[in-house]
Amino acid sequence: MKSAKLSGETGSETRVAILESGEEAFATLTKFANDAGITAASLTAIGAFEMATVGWFDFEKKTYKKIEVAEQCEVLSAIGDIAVGDDGKASLHVHVVLGLADGTTRGGHLLEGKVRPTLEVVIADTAAHLRRKKKPDLGIALIDIAKGKA
């Protein structure tokens, strides 16, 4: 992965991260956010995966139903945010729409995506802190505005 600062001052920056073939997108972006000390940001991305796994959240089971996309696909749209999780580390929440060769799409929460040939990600972080807190009644972690102010 290569990255560059596009604009802004420390704590309120816009960055671009370019992922390369073979990199796993979710893990690579999480590592980048942790290394850069990002505590609150939005992100958008386009590119392609050679394979991906997206998830659909099943409220009854309180878990993600995995949807495997075992073929080359275009990342038509990826949008998400970065906050700090219960463990104090970067917590990504990214939704994607993936385009297949026949023109159909798959979408959901990005769980995994192996990049091929590239993924171009724009990350806009702020000086604020967002905290993602596990909600046991839902089975997922959501941004907690009150916790993020500290």
Residue 8 CA to its chain's centroid (Å): 21
SS3 at position 126: coil
pLDDT of residue 149: 53
CB 19 within 8 A of CB 116: no
Instruction: Work out the end-to-end distance of the chain between its first and last CA atoms, rounded to an integer number of angstroms.
Output: 32
Q: What is the mean pLDDT of each run of 10 residues along the chain (150 residues)?
A: 81 91 98 95 98 96 96 98 95 98 98 98 90 92 76
pLDDT, one tens digit per residue, over 118-135 is 999 999 998 788 899 999
pLDDT of residue 150: 46
Tell me the CA distances in angstroms from 23 to 10, 52, 53, 101, one per residue in order. Answer: 27, 12, 14, 22
